[in-house]
Amino acid sequence: MTDPNLIRNFSIIAHIDHGKSTLSDRILELTGTVAHRDMQAQLLDSMDIERERGITIKSQAVRVDYTADDGQTYQFNLIDTPGHVDFTYEVSRSLAACEGAVLVVDATQGVEAQTVANAMMAMNANLEIIPLINKIDLPAADPDRVRSEIEEGLAIPADDAVLASGKTGAGVHDLLEAVVYNIPAPTGDPDGPLRALIFDSYFDPYRGVVALIRVVDGSLKKGDRVLMMATGTEVLVEEVGARRPAETAMPQLSVGEVGYLVTGLKDVRQVKVGDTITATARGVSEPLPGYREAKPMVFTGLFPIDGDQYEPLKEALEKLSLNDPALVWEPEKSHALGFGFRVGFLGLLHMEVIKERLEREFGLDLLATAPSVEYHVYRAGGEMISLHSPQEMPDPGEIERIEEPYLKAKILIPPDYVGAVMELTTARRGTFVTMNYLSPTTVEMIWEIPLSELIMDYFDKLKSNTKGYASLDYDFDGYKPSKLVKLDILLSGKPVDALSFIIHKDKAYDRGRMLTEKLRGIIPRQMFEVPIQAAIGGRVLARETVKAKRKDVLAKCYGGDISRKRKLLEKQKAGKKRMKNIGSVEVPQEAFMAILKVDD
């Protein structure tokens, strides 16, 4: 058993792109955990998509041994948290496994929205925070400015902030020493009944579900019988150990330690993030605080372009959800798109990542319909329906009221952009709450905004309207009544279910007009005229027409042209295959994407 006084559990938190992963890599390298030659940039981000996007989706926990300047060897457990608002809950559980956090701030960018949000969470979790100003090797680095932003914006003393560069390795030794001296050692009852927090889990095809845990009290070892309190699942511990970063079996995990537990379970849903593990015999009755169910916020229809890929899509979703308990889905049938699934995600990034993985790792060609949120529709009798798809919308006559989810959004911007954000967010039905000057160069604006507006490329618009300066963070803020209607798009007079969506009544006309115009540009000319209409119920709001095709021929076709011509026809055929036949109209995939992009 390691003396808890020699254990330091900490996390590294940062705004996206502030260099958290690179810094983690340097720590592994400097402590000799990973030899330099084995370094793969951003070692902890193991998925291709994570590395490409430079974001972390899954939590990681790595144990490193550090022999400090005082001559003692410490056990560091470095917990890498997901770096996106979609995964806020996972972040909070990872932080609960720590005593301290290193707050990384880019020396050129300064404090941004998620710097604030993450620092707040770390403070809420009562963590000791070590500020670190990163990327000091860059010419534009301005550590003095950043130091004052940290002090003024976050109320964290930053006099002795560590100055470091993940890239060059400068300052990393200072950081490790700061961890030893500033972050408290874990406390807990080594002999008490077992209590351990699950802060992440993943599916290992050979060993079943593996949980990442922090032992709060007691200890556990291979062969122990343990109970997961929220799900009531009992398991025999098959193995415990630590990741360094390869999984290394240990005789036991004792109080204060972080490590993994092999459960042998087949369903990741039985091992929930935030749940408490205790011993089956002589266990505790009170779980650790803070558990909640991860709840999907955004829903979209995913349809295979090739109908033959329905089963493969189902299998792929099953495989992905082995590792992703937040991913939920149910079959959905669309007249336009055939059989597919209604899939729920934690947020838009989660959705994009899953769609990309389905396409890349499983070779699927998918169509996604407009993302929707969960609406609460109250029928005249008071009965409430949770609506995930526009298709489930009851007749207007049966509806008493509809409520939609709201978010409390926090936007950080330089003062010059206050007007631009006001304009954009008001147009998106946002309600202004308050505004604070965090520093002379940073304004924090708080808004209440419907989630449905936020998922319609609000963030892209926010970025472009503020020249990329704005950063955004949000929290769920409950359901509020709203005047919502279902807008249908009709092609050749027939409604296309996959193009329907729910929208605020006041915006239906403009959106309908804009979409029909956009679709006219996207839907290629066919052998016949194609009218495009936007309608609510039977009332047509806008109409455009795709004229019939008049000429589509390549006139030259001699000797060598014939092979070329065959290739073109093959391409034409492949192109048609990528389109969806709706009635007799060929609709390209962009048509379904068009709904996602809104020009204000």
- Applying CB under 8 A, which residues contact other proteins? 525, 527, 549-560, 562-563, 565-566, 568-570, 572-573, 576
Q: Distance (Å, rounded) from C-alpha 580 to C-alpha 181?
A: 62
In whole angstroms, the minimum distance from the beta carbon of 551 to other proteins comes to 4
In whole angstroms, the minimum distance from the beta carbon of 554 to other proteins comes to 6
Would you say 293 or 561 has its CB closer to other proteins? Answer: 561
In whole angstroms, the minimum distance from the beta carbon of 364 to other proteins comes to 24
List CB contacts of 195: < 8 A, sequence separation 6 or more.
Answer: 215, 216, 217, 218, 276, 277, 278, 284, 287, 288
In whole angstroms, the minimum distance from the beta carbon of 338 to other proteins comes to 21
Phi-psi region of 580 (alpha: psi -120 to 50; beta: other; left: phi over 0): beta
In whole angstroms, the minimum distance from the beta carbon of 309 to other proteins comes to 21
Q: Dihedral, CA atoms, 165, 166, 169, 171, nearest 10 degrees?
A: 50
Query: Which of 196, 215, 192, 201 is CA-nearest to residue 77?
Result: 215
Which residues are part of a known binding site for GTP?
17-22, 134-137
Per the CB < 8 A criterion, the answer to whether 226 and 235 are in contact is: yes
In whole angstroms, the minimum distance from the beta carbon of 573 to other proteins comes to 6
> Residue 487 class from Cβ within 10 Å (0-12 exposed, 13-18 middle, 19+ buried)?
buried
Backbone φ and ψ for 279, nearest 5 degrees, come out as: -75, 145
Would you say 37 or 550 has its CB closer to other proteins? Answer: 550
Q: 12 has which bridge partners?
A: 80, 102
Q: Distance (Å, rounded) from C-alpha 465 to C-alpha 219?
A: 53
Give the ranges where 46-98 is alpha helix by DSSP (H): 48-53, 88-96
Amino acid letter, 264: G
Would you say 400 or 570 has its CB closer to other proteins? Answer: 570
Would you say 423 or 570 has its CB closer to other proteins? Answer: 570
Q: Distance (Å, rounded) from C-alpha 94 to C-alpha 437?
A: 30
In whole angstroms, the minimum distance from the beta carbon of 549 to other proteins comes to 6
Buried b (16+ CB within 10 A) or exposed e, 383-407: eebebbbbbebeeeeebeebbbbbb
Which residues are part of a known binding site?
17-22, 134-137
In whole angstroms, the minimum distance from the beta carbon of 568 to other proteins comes to 8
Would you say 381 or 559 has its CB closer to other proteins? Answer: 559
Would you say 249 or 569 has its CB closer to other proteins? Answer: 569
Q: Distance (Å, rounded) from C-alpha 450 to C-alpha 287?
A: 34
Q: Distance (Å, rounded) from C-alpha 560 to C-alpha 294?
A: 61
Would you say 84 or 580 has its CB closer to other proteins? Answer: 580
Would you say 513 or 525 has its CB closer to other proteins? Answer: 525
